[in-house]
Structure 1
Amino acid sequence: MNITTLTIVILIYLAIMTGLMALGYKKTKTDADYMVAGRSMHPWVMALSYGAAFISTSAIIGFGGAAGLFGFSLLWLTVLTIFVGIFIAFAVFGVRIRRMSCNLNCDTFPSMLGTRFQSKGLTAYAGLLIFLLMPAYTSAILIGGARFLQDALAMPFNISLLILAVLVGIYVVSGGLRGVMYTDAFFAVVMLIGMAALLLSTYNAVGGIIPGHTGLSALASMVPEALTEQGHRGWTAMPAVGSSIWWTVISTMVLGVGIGVLAQPQLTMRFMTVKQPKSIYQAILVGGIFIFFMTGTAFIVGPLSNLYFVQNQGQIALQVAEGNMDRIIPIFVSQIMPNWFLYFFMLSLLSAAVSTLVSLLHVQGAAFARDLVDTLGAGKLVPQFGTRHWAKAGVLVSLLAAVVLAYVLPAGVIARATAFWFGICAAAFLPTLTAALYWPAATKAGALASTISGSLISGLGYVLLKEQEAVAIGLVSRLFDRATLLPFPWTHIDPLIYALPISAVVLVVVSLVTQKPAAQHLKDTFDKVA
């Protein structure tokens, strides 16, 4: 890439980012402005911000690379993200989240749950989960963005990682959620154009839609023997039902992310930012179109990269990427795109990384300030520090943790780290959130027991049962001299599959036998019109 051209492109990009963040900073006068953008965002801005925060380099680089390994079976995740992640999330959950957060005067996801159930313990526990565990997901996004910069710009991974971290740290600290959402909307437009162009270029590179899919089907015999033994039946076929790859694709990637999206703190906060509940309905179409092009493109391009690499290099994608599926998409893009377009697509991937990173870091900072410091009364120790100062401190700590993890996590971790966080959120928060919105009889004890049991069972599943994570952690091998506590299929079943039902049952059972909420509190929670 021409250094002069590259410098001009990046400077223009940064100038637009800086202008949008400055606009957000100028309009940020109160804690509510910093936390929930003053509850005054346009529904289309909210929808684009939601999509940009949801779709990141994790989806494009990580899950696109996973699709390059596993095939079109990941398109079921596109179906689920549109139906569950947009329609259900907006129409069923989003409208009530907006109304309840206003009724209870809450500006974070944990504080809404805690206030709804009149439990500071629930607020603090949810905030602690976010602050301690979300850096794993944040690091995955950092890795994805840094990997693309590494391959596109021939830049050392360590340098690209630090540049990306410093960039997002500056922007998220300065603009608050209003500035984050303004830049998210800009990023979403850039990403949409870039991914649409990638889809067209990919089909052009493999000879068209029908020749591309036909040619990919014919490559089934090139699936490595080790993958065939695990259930891989070609890139255009579903894995063998009940096989290890089938469990990985369906339970971890499709269900883990497709269901986990409903309980993502950084996404639920977007619903709190619009002027009125009905605005959320107006955002559904925009969100659905955006998610279709983002995930659909990644999960089509990944498998088709195998055909391109075989035609041009005689190897499948995983072999070209030297076994690291996180590098499949960056290498493929840098080979098929003309040089002039690589600049724009670099901005698309950079937008995907930065938009999600700033959203995640904002949520972690808010959780630290509002849900931990304020809830536990620690702010009184330094009275001159306001909520916004604590939030910025939380952002910096979270960013440092994510950078450290990005250096130590193994290769090919992006999709796994994403599924881990989404699964933890679903098991810990989804039953409690659903009950908060739709079951007035749910109790404080039931909500707290459900959230704790869901998070602990899910966490133990990763530590003791799920093979990839259990082997990496090594606790079972040290205690019992074997890789996992139980044999297959438990080694490949995502903990979400059993942790979520248990969490839901715990909530119902405990709520039925414990003291019901006060009638006036329920009236204030559900009956007000916000």
Structure 2
Amino acid sequence: MVDNTLLYTMLAVYLGITVLLGYLGYRHTKSSKDYMIAGGNVHPVLMALAYGSTFISTSAIVGFGGAAGVYGLSLLWLTVFNIFVGIFVAFVIFGIKTRKLAHELQVKTFPEFLGARFDSPFIRKFSATIISLTMPLYAAAVMIGGARYMEEALGMSYTTALAVFSLIVLAYVFFGGLRGVIYTDAMQGMIMFAGMAALIFLTYSALGGVTVAHSKLEGMRQLVPAALAAKGHQGWTAMPDFGSELWWFVVSTLVLGVGIGVLAQPQLAVRFMTVASSKDIYRGLSIGSVFILFMTGVAFTVGALSNVYFFEHSGKIALAATAVGGAVPNVDKIIPMFITQAMPEWLKYIFLFTLLSAAMSTLSGQFHIISTSISYDLNTNSNRSDAKTLRLARIGTLFGFVLTILLSLFLPLGVIAVATALFFGLCTSAFLPMYAAALYWPRITPAGAIWSMVTATVVYFGLVLFVHEKEAAIFGVCNKIFGVKTLGVIPWTYIDPLVIALPLSALVLITVSLVTQPAAEPVTIQ
């Protein structure tokens, strides 16, 4: 067993480097442009690593890795979408035009980008409001993932792990702005890559090799619980039965919701504004693709294969193994338990830093976007000094931090993947149609963009709170008002709200734009 002295030494070195990079970011943050887009001259390798490490968080590794422990290798379709849509389409189709138009408009944030493109203060403030109020839900999912692993690996209480972890994140994003975030993201991205490489190698070694491990997983099909089989589960190496409840959940919520949703993520879109030229975006393509392949592919594969390990050592499938001592099964504990039980002691510590890096890189980007939305996009006083803007930005960071901690304490068990998909789905429905049109359809009007965004937001929230069963049960609004868990009928109770809200958003955008004239004056809704 590795002496705890090694852990504390590694932790001290890790935190020391993190603090140093945050301090360097602080020293180089002299203006609001430095704080919001890192001066606009970031190296393409740093941009790609920062993009990838912000994209991949404990939500992907712990939350979606745990989901793979339940739903199997079908989640590898999300890896396919992450690489093709999240990297190739995002960089080439969206990133290059975003960087060019952002520089032409002289904007520093995603809400400002949308508002300036349509000459609409309403669009800027409405999108900033959505971000500042709902991104803490996604941030809480990431925070929970990091704290759950610390709880399992270090034997501390969940609340203690949450407090320690959150304070580390707050310290460097509060002072460093986007420069500090990008510096640390690049360092953390390298740690994440090394940790996941070690994890997949040791997982296959522990299970007898690649072929043997997958053969064992295939042979466990008869162990699928009856309740899951009734919903369409066909084993951990197969897709759920086409059209079944689980098929719709995997495809519409996990694969489409997150796979497409990455295109409209404000904290990722702003990364394209940090480089000096379009060539820099092309240079980051290969690095980003390999990084995403390794992060998600490993997490989903290990999550599914954890069933083999738990069955061989406890006679239970992965989800059942988390119900220790009569506890409620918790999908978010599958990966932490597998690492702490199946892997050597030294990897437990290495993976601790992998998850710390994954969570901190994503959370820093999330808190940064929350802070700029509150301080810069909702408070559009053009006479503000840079010093006041920076001060307000750091107040915004504290707001996002407090709201995230509260959600992390009170959200139910097993919520990581659901909360992540919810935020991605909302951003996709509200922002993606007008974001794509802003780049490629000159005929779009401000009215079309506004009504698309507002309609999608209202419809998406309505479906989440009153129709889609997973989220409706979590928030409990429908039950409190109507006394039932959901007002929906099958199959709409398990088809993701994105399937309705996104096409409706696009339809409203096209229809309203075609019947209205491009406005010379700003268009607002009173």
TM-score interval for Structure 1 and Structure 2 normalised by the shorter chain: over 0.9
1:439 counterpart residue number:
441
Q: 1:365 aligns with which of 368, 371, 393?
A: 371
Within 2, Cα distance between the matches of 1:16 and 1:371? 32
Equivalent pair of 1:247/1:492 in contact (CA under 8 Å): yes
2:465 counterpart residue number:
463
1:402 counterpart residue number:
404
Deviations 1:482-517 (A, max 9, x none): 322121110101100110000001111111111214
Equivalent pair of 2:88/2:285 in contact (CA under 8 Å): yes
Equivalent pair of 2:134/2:423 in contact (CA under 8 Å): yes
2:178 counterpart residue number:
177
Q: Which amino acid aligns with 2:365?
A: S
**Using a 3 Å threshold, how does the CA distance of structure 1 residues 433 and 197 change in structure 2: closer, same or farther?**
same
Q: Which amino acid aligns with 1:350?
A: L
Q: Which amino acid aligns with 1:422?
A: F
Equivalent pair of 2:31/2:387 in contact (CA under 8 Å): no
**Using a 3 Å threshold, how does the CA distance of structure 1 residues 222 and 177 change in structure 2: closer, same or farther?**
same
Equivalent pair of 2:248/2:495 in contact (CA under 8 Å): yes
Within 2, Cα distance between the matches of 1:40 and 1:246? 44
1:30 counterpart residue number:
31
Within 2, Cα distance between the matches of 1:93 and 1:416? 26
Deviations 1:53-102 (A, max 9, x none): 00000000000000000000000000000000000000000001101111
Within 2, Cα distance between the matches of 1:341 and 1:476? 44
SS of equivalent to 1:290:
helix
Figure out how many residues of one structure are paired with residues of the other and give that number. Answer: 516
Between 17-26 and 408-417, the greater mean CA deviation after superposition? 17-26
Within 1, Cα distance between the matches of 2:342 and 2:5? 22
**Using a 3 Å threshold, how does the CA distance of structure 1 residues 387 and 285 change in structure 2: closer, same or farther?**
same
Within 1, Cα distance between the matches of 2:403 and 2:359? 17
SS of equivalent to 1:484:
coil
Q: Which amino acid aligns with 2:418?
A: R
2:427 counterpart residue number:
425
Is 1:341 paired with 2:342?
no
Q: Which amino acid aligns with 2:347?
A: F
Between 468-477 and 152-161, the greater mean CA deviation after superposition? 468-477
Within 1, Cα distance between the matches of 2:250 and 2:330? 17
1:63 counterpart residue number:
64
After TM superposition, give the deviation of residue 22 of structure 1 in Å. Answer: 1.5
Within 2, Cα distance between the matches of 1:142 and 1:180? 17
2:20 counterpart residue number:
19
After TM superposition, give the deviation of residue 384 of structure 1 in Å. Answer: 9.9
1:219 counterpart residue number:
220
SS of equivalent to 1:71:
helix
Within 2, Cα distance between the matches of 1:363 and 1:79? 27
After TM superposition, give the deviation of residue 123 of structure 1 in Å. Answer: 0.2
After TM superposition, give the deviation of residue 256 of structure 1 in Å. Answer: 0.2
Q: Which amino acid aligns with 2:33?
A: A
Q: Which amino acid aligns with 2:378?
A: L
After TM superposition, give the deviation of residue 383 of structure 1 in Å. Answer: 7.9
Give 1:307-326 correspondences, 5 Å limit.
307-322=308-323, 323-326=329-332
SS of equivalent to 2:447:
helix
Give 1:65-80 correspondences, 5 Å limit.
65-80=66-81
After TM superposition, give the deviation of residue 12 of structure 1 in Å. Answer: 0.3
Q: Which runs of 5+ in 2 are unaligned?
A: 324-328
Q: Which amino acid aligns with 1:343?
A: Y
Within 1, Cα distance between the matches of 2:318 and 2:72? 11
Q: Which amino acid aligns with 1:244?
A: E
1:448 counterpart residue number:
450
Q: Which amino acid aligns with 1:446?
A: G
1:387 counterpart residue number:
389
Q: 2:358 aligns with which of 339, 347, 352?
A: 352
Within 2, Cα distance between the matches of 1:325 and 1:335? 16
Q: Which runs of 5+ in 1 are unaligned?
A: 522-530
Provide the aligned C-alpha RMSD in A: 1.5
After TM superposition, give the deviation of residue 478 of structure 1 in Å. Answer: 3.8
SS of equivalent to 1:272:
helix
Is 1:262 paired with 2:263?
yes
The alignment-based identity, stated in percent, is 48
Equivalent pair of 1:450/1:506 in contact (CA under 8 Å): yes
Within 1, Cα distance between the matches of 2:66 and 2:386? 48
Is 1:99 paired with 2:100?
yes
Equivalent pair of 2:23/2:172 in contact (CA under 8 Å): no
Deviations 1:382-432 (A, max 9, x none): 989611111100000110000000000000000000000000000000001
Equivalent pair of 1:201/1:336 in contact (CA under 8 Å): no
Per the normalisation by structure 2, the TM-score is 0.96
Within 2, Cα distance between the matches of 1:481 and 1:15? 52
After TM superposition, give the deviation of residue 518 of structure 1 in Å. Answer: 4.7
Equivalent pair of 2:34/2:177 in contact (CA under 8 Å): yes
SS of equivalent to 2:450:
helix
Within 1, Cα distance between the matches of 2:346 and 2:482? 56
Equivalent pair of 1:248/1:493 in contact (CA under 8 Å): yes
1:514 counterpart residue number:
516
Per the normalisation by structure 1, the TM-score is 0.95
Equivalent pair of 2:412/2:474 in contact (CA under 8 Å): no
Give 1:93-242 correspondences, 5 Å limit.
93-242=94-243
Equivalent pair of 2:135/2:423 in contact (CA under 8 Å): yes
After TM superposition, give the deviation of residue 196 of structure 1 in Å. Answer: 0.8
Within 2, Cα distance between the matches of 1:384 and 1:309? 55
Equivalent pair of 1:441/1:517 in contact (CA under 8 Å): no
SS of equivalent to 2:378:
helix
1:527 counterpart residue number:
none
